[in-house]
Structure 1
Amino acid sequence: TEEYPKANANVRYLHRRIWMRIWVGMPSRDIDKWSRCHVFSPACIATLHHLMYTVLWKKGENTVMVIDTHVHVFPDNIAKKAGAKLQAVAQIPCHTDLTEADTRIKLKEWGIDLGVVLPIATKPSQQRSINNWAKTVQHGGLISFGSIHPDAEDALSELDTIKEYGLYGVKLHPDYQCFFPDDEKYFPLYEKMAALGLPVAFHTGYDPVSPDVIYAPPERIRALARAIPALKVIGAHLGGHMQYDEVEKYIVGENIYIDISMAPLTCRQEQFERIIKNHGVDKVLFASDCPWTTPGMELQMLRKASLSPEETELILAGNAIKLLNYNV
């Protein structure tokens, strides 16, 4: 409140407007317009979006499962340090403390039934310790992917460990791991993932950790998916963070799953809707990139899209259940 002196009064006023919207039927766009014209901290805005859209969603007829397929959690002993470092790079607020316990609490508060943890092995030496930890988080509303470092000497055999541990896929982050995903030297890894039935999730598009080199643009993700059609590829951030014109050119219509994480911050509503409809709603996954955005933001964007209830349910959970072979 010292940094944002009007915040307290604004929060109280907006709180009243939210409840008027819920009980009287005030258009939610009035709240959006009002909130943009007043002074809020980024964390305050995120909290208000959660209050408004999670409550509005629950008040409606929607009772389907909601699966957030893009969640970040760290072991307790490094969560604080990792969070501070990542916030310094991304320059956006962190909405959990990145621990298991806090993430479980927040996801429940936000109306998320299941969170899919996506850990990243940024060094070859981290593979086994990360996968050992990932195995332990699979309870109480969380399941997890594993990770390999594609340049690790034992990356191929580590995929067997990921499968043996019952993890649901493999997360790769080309910008942190410094590799181009369509490089043919990595094809044996992808072929084994396909053989083991392990989906692979890529960060795609821009990332502030590598502002000058985009390692996984939409064109490279398409090249990989076409080269190994049996591989189940997930392109985070609509298939190309902040490269949505390229997404429409290279990703839309391809045999690639895309998640909607971060879209509310960087994608126009009309382009978002065009991408998911033209791509096919059966290949779209609900996701938030928690803790960097909060699920209420993506719920808002999805709710604004002119989709049928059946299409919305596929995105919220149905597609993920099928892709991950998750036993509800």
Structure 2
Amino acid sequence: MLIDIHVHMFTDRIAKRALKKVSANVCQATYCTDGTVGETTEKLRSWGVDVCAALNIATKPSQQTVINNWAAFIQNESIRSFGSVHPDAPNAVEELYRIKSLGLSGVKLHPDYQDFFIDDKKLFPVYEAISELGLPVVFHTGRDSLFSEGTHAPPTAVARVADLFPRMTIIAAHMGGMAMYGEVEESLMGKNVFFDTAMSMFWCTPRQFESLVNRHGAERVLFGSDCPWSRSCDQFAFIERTGLTDAQKEKIYWKNSAELLKLPVSKSWRRA
């Protein structure tokens, strides 16, 4: 069984335009799906993924309502949708309560694309509400190719937020800090923070990945790919090259995410 906690999808109307824009102007990366729900779910299935979390990002305050409505529309047994709020939206906290009422599975915040520092006090009311609502929150952490100078969510700042908001379920994408694994080892090991594995195959060796898991704890690591920017099957193959035990990999591949997302373990997930 495999759950991919870090997937991006777009409406059919904007998918092609969105992928071309991000690829050309933001991350300079190729994409492996057309970004639509239909092709993404088909590709995920072929890569061995049973359930995914679709992470949606409101890059403007005006996008919150439309994005969260769409997230609720696409959510089903195999797609668990995360909503989003924008830190500069005057109704961000109220929208978090609507996200909960829509039955969405969590919240996605991207400090780089939404232009905030993760430990900025202006986010504290948002974090308080997320904590109260019991919604997991995924942050992009570490470096991002859009911002060559400075980092909005370095591992040290993630650690500060985790200490300030111990009830908030934090998922620090990209193993706690993309391309900043020395700082991850210094500041985040053993903290009450989940890591997802998205893109880690590009930024650390199998041996370093294994060390991060062993020191942080396999129970705090979630499988993720960052599709459409990488393939779930490639991230899976990378983890298979490590020396992690079968029990550790089972936690990472699906057990931790199933518990976090409160998913019933159903035989219907299993591939024929």
Q: Could you tell me the TM-score, scaled by structure 2's length?
A: 0.95
User: Are 1:280 and 2:217 an aligned pair?
Assistant: yes
Residue identity opposite 1:87 in structure 2: S
Aligned-pair distance for 1:327? 2.6
CA contact (8 A) 2:206 2:239 kept: no
Counterpart mapping for 1:128-143 below 5 A: 128-139=65-76, 141-143=78-80
User: Are 1:76 and 2:16 an aligned pair?
Assistant: no
Residue identity opposite 2:2 in structure 1: V
User: Are 1:100 and 2:37 an aligned pair?
Assistant: yes
User: Are 1:292 and 2:234 an aligned pair?
Assistant: no
> Counterpart in 1 of 2:2?
66
Give the Cα–Cα distance (whole angstroms) in 1 for the partners of residues 148 and 39 of structure 2. Answer: 30
Residue identity opposite 1:74 in structure 2: F
1:177 partner SS: coil
Aligned-pair distance for 1:140? 5.6
Q: Which whole-Å deviations, capped at 9, do the CAs of 1:41-85 have from their partners, x for residues lacking one?
A: xxxxxxxxxxxxxxxxxxxxxxxx200000000111110110001
1:143 partner SS: strand
Aligned mate of 1:306, from 230, 243, 247: 243
- Identity among equivalent positions (%) equals 46
Give the Cα–Cα distance (whole angstroms) in 1 for the partners of residues 211 and 59 of structure 2. Answer: 34
Q: Which whole-Å deviations, capped at 9, do the CAs of 1:292-321 have from their partners, x for residues lacking one?
A: 010122111211222222211110010011
Q: Which whole-Å deviations, capped at 9, do the CAs of 1:74-119 have from their partners, x for residues lacking one?
A: 1111101100011112122100000000001100111100111001
User: Are 1:251 and 2:188 an aligned pair?
Assistant: yes
1:215 partner SS: coil
What is the RMSD of the two structures over their aligned residues, measured on CA atoms?
0.9
Residue identity opposite 1:250 in structure 2: S
Please list every run of at least 4 consecutive aligned residues from structure 1 whose deviation after the TM superposition is greater than 6 angstroms.
none
Give the Cα–Cα distance (whole angstroms) in 1 for the partners of residues 7 and 146 of structure 2. Answer: 18
Which protein has the bigger helix share? 1
Counterpart mapping for 1:29-68 below 5 A: 65-68=1-4
Unaligned runs of 5+ in 2: 266-272
Unaligned runs of 5+ in 1: 1-64
Aligned-pair distance for 1:250? 1.1
Residue identity opposite 2:212 in structure 1: I
Residue identity opposite 2:186 in structure 1: K
Q: Which whole-Å deviations, capped at 9, do the CAs of 1:196-251 have from their partners, x for residues lacking one?
A: 11011000011111221210010111100000100000000001001111111111
Aligned length: 264
CA contact (8 A) 1:72 1:291 kept: yes
Q: Could you tell me the TM-score, scaled by structure 1's length?
A: 0.79
CA contact (8 A) 1:104 1:140 kept: no
> Counterpart in 1 of 2:258?
321
Aligned-pair distance for 1:185? 2.2
Aligned mate of 2:166, from 184, 205, 229: 229
Give the Cα–Cα distance (whole angstroms) in 2 for the partners of residues 92 and 121 of structure 1. Answer: 21
> Counterpart in 1 of 2:179?
242
Give the Cα–Cα distance (whole angstroms) in 2 for the partners of residues 139 and 326 of structure 1. Answer: 12
